[in-house]
């Protein structure tokens, strides 16, 4: 089921024509059908490819934890270097090797470290709001707020200078742009690799107290420079691209639902359920990939060795099995075990950090600008349709 206008866009991440937050009707129909149909797509590295679409909540959850369904992109380890065959890129590992590497990072991603960062996050949020207010009353929320906050946070966490943001934000955007050619992607990754290589050299000489520095300090002899480069690049990209799109898209959907916006703005008690609900409802990582390493039967579905699967987080998070019949946005909904951060061994490493950022950034924005509204007609908003992280190119707002 290829989209003639967007062959790169698999049905498992397609949003509705009239409501670009919710799954397309053809995706909901696949979930109601309940089997694992083969769908097609185009990719700069893979060319034309077929995958089995997994859309039900129970199936996506079961397949995310299955030991014989690998998350690795199956990219030739000796082929041209990209993030996907970079040592240390956690999503390419399975089993004990994945556990070994992941533990080094979870050991440094402690609740204590994150809690210590919270007052600092509140300060940077406040400073960004001051700057917006001074330059206003119109701003592109992406450039003025949604992108700077997680970028500043991940720079602080990794020990990357924030003054380098134009370069790394640009390279991350290219990496997530599915319309770029393989040649462009390889050249772009060479820049990312060289940049992170320099940071790793500095950390080897003087680890300091950043998260990556702590990994070097504690596990320096057990981790190679290439693995550290992979850790750094994965965290740098995952750390700012995801959260920034959640801030921007979360604001947009609230602006479109004024009563729910008012609840988030006026009632502290709503913050936690609202953030969980926005994560579920928007499912910005719309789908994740897996492939079978052997013949399998999972939740009653036969899967052949080598078959690729695309697990639709977008469809699963709207499944009536999870949320009942009314799957629309409801910031008062008691949090449900959604799959916005994935599930199983690869479940998002930065989820607690992302939650803190969202809980601070969203209410603070709405309180500072109680009359926040779109500065252009909704139909003119530019969505990031082809990116593996759904979101917005820009969001002009006024107050």
Task: Please identify the residue of the shown chain whose CB is closest to the bound ligand HEM.
Answer: 350
* DSSP 8-state assignment for residue 278: H
Q: How far is the CB of 258 from ligand HEM (least distance, A)?
A: 24
Q: Which is nearer to ligand HEM, 83 or 270 (CB)?
A: 83
| Nearest-5° Cα angle at 49, 44 to 52 | 135
Among 86, 151, 242, 312, binds ligand HEM (CB under 6 A): 242
Q: Which is nearer to ligand HEM, 37 or 345 (CB)?
A: 345
- Interface with ligand HEM, residue 188, by CB under 6 A: no
DSSP-based three-state secondary structure for 198: helix
Residues 271-300 that bind ligand HEM (CB under 6 A): 284-285, 288
Please identify, among the stretches 5-13, 173-181, 336-344, 378-386, the one whose residues bind ligand HEM according to the rule CB under 6 A. 336-344
- Interface with ligand HEM, residue 102, by CB under 6 A: yes
Q: Which is nearer to ligand HEM, 252 or 373 (CB)?
A: 252
Size of the site for ligand HEM (CB under 6 A): 24
- Please report the DSSP string for 87-130 in residue order: TT-GGG--HHHHHHHHHHHHHHS-HHHHHHHHHHHHHHHHHHHH
Among 139, 199, 349, 397, binds ligand HEM (CB under 6 A): 349
Q: How far is the CB of 366 from ligand HEM (least distance, A)?
A: 18
CB-based contacts of 195, cutoff 8 Å, min separation 6: 164, 167, 168, 171
- Interface with ligand HEM, residue 51, by CB under 6 A: no
Please identify, among the stretches 3-11, 25-33, 46-54, 337-345, the one whose residues bind ligand HEM according to the rule CB under 6 A. 337-345
- Interface with ligand HEM, residue 340, by CB under 6 A: yes
- Please report the DSSP string for 172-191 in residue order: HHHHT-TTS-HHHHHHHHHH
CA-to-CA separations, 83 to 26, 89, 152, 171, 336, in angstroms, rounded: 32, 7, 22, 12, 33
Q: Which is nearer to ligand HEM, 270 or 289 (CB)?
A: 289
Of 63, 51, 59, nearest in space to 33 by CA: 59
| Helical spans, DSSP H, in the chain | 25-33, 57-65, 95-108, 111-135, 141, 148-158, 165-175, 182-205, 211-219, 225-255, 258-266, 271-282, 313-316, 320-323, 351-368
Among 124, 196, 248, 354, binds ligand HEM (CB under 6 A): 354
Query: HSE-up of 139 (CA within 13 Å, CB side)?
Result: 22
Question: For every residue of 24-60, which 3-state class applies, written as one string?
Answer: CHHHHHHHHHCCCCEEEEEECCCEEEEEEEECCHHHH
Q: Which is nearer to ligand HEM, 210 or 242 (CB)?
A: 242
- Residue whose tokens read 């997994």: 54
- Interface with ligand HEM, residue 246, by CB under 6 A: yes
Dist. CA 110–CA 112, nearest whole Å: 5
Residues 66-95 that bind ligand HEM (CB under 6 A): 71, 90-91
Check if the beta carbon of residue 278 is closer than 8 Å to that of residue 253.
yes
- Interface with ligand HEM, residue 216, by CB under 6 A: no
Please identify, among the stretches 31-39, 183-191, 338-346, 362-370, the one whose residues bind ligand HEM according to the rule CB under 6 A. 338-346
Chain centroid to Cα 327, Å, comes to 21
Among 114, 155, 235, 356, binds ligand HEM (CB under 6 A): 235
- Interface with ligand HEM, residue 54, by CB under 6 A: no
- Interface with ligand HEM, residue 341, by CB under 6 A: yes
- Interface with ligand HEM, residue 390, by CB under 6 A: no
Binding site for ligand HEM (CB under 6 A): 71, 90-91, 102, 154, 234-235, 238-239, 242-243, 246, 284-285, 288, 340-342, 346, 348-350, 353-354
């Amino acid at each position: 089921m290829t989209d003639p206008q967007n062959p790169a866009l698999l049905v498992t991440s397609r949003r509705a024509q009239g409501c670009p937050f919710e799954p397309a009707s053809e995706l909901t129909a696949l979930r109601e059908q309940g089997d694992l149909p083969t769908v097609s797509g185009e990719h700069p590295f893979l060319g034309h490819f077929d995958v089995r679409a997994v859309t039900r909540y129970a199936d996506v959850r079961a397949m995310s934890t299955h030991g014989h369904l690998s998350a690795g992109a199956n990219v030739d380890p000796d082929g041209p270097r990209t993030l996907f065959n970079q040592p240390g890129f956690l999503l390419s590992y399975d089993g004990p090797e994945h556990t070994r590497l992941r533990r080094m990072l979870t050991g440094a991603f402690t609740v204590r470290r994150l809690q210590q960062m919270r007052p600092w996050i509140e300060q940077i949020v406040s400073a960004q709001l001051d700057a917006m207010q001074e330059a206003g009353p119109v701003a592109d929320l992406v450039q003025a707020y949604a992108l700077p906050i997680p970028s500043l946070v991940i720079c602080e966490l990794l020990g990357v200078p924030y003054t380098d943001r134009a370069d790394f934000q640009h390279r991350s955007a290219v990496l997530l742009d599915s319309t770029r050619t393989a040649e462009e992607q390889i050249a772009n990754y060479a820049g990312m690799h060289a940049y992170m290589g320099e940071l790793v050299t500095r950390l080897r000489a003087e680890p300091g107290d950043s998260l990556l520095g702590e990994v070097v300090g504690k596990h320096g002899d057990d981790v190679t420079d290439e693995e550290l480069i992979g850790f750094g690049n994965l965290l740098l990209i995952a750390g700012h691209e995801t959260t920034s799109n959640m801030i921007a898209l979360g604001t947009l959907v609230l602006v479109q639902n004024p009563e729910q916006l008012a609840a988030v703005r006026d009632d502290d008690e709503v913050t936690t359920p609202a953030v969980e609900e926005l994560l579920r409802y928007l499912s910005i990582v719309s789908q994740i990939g897996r492939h079978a390493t052997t013949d399998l039967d999972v939740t009653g579905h036969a899967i052949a060795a080598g078959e690729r699967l695309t697990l639709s987080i977008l469809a699963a998070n709207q499944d009536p099995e999870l949320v009942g019949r009314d799957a629309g946005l409801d910031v008062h909904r008691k949090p449900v075990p959604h799959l916005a951060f994935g599930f199983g061994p690869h479940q998002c490493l930065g989820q607690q950090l992302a939650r803190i950022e969202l809980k601070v950034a969203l209410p603070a924005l709405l309180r500072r600008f109680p009359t926040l509204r779109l500065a252009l007609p909704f139909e003119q908003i530019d969505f990031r349709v082809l990116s593996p992280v759904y979101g917005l190119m820009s969001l002009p707002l006024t107050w």
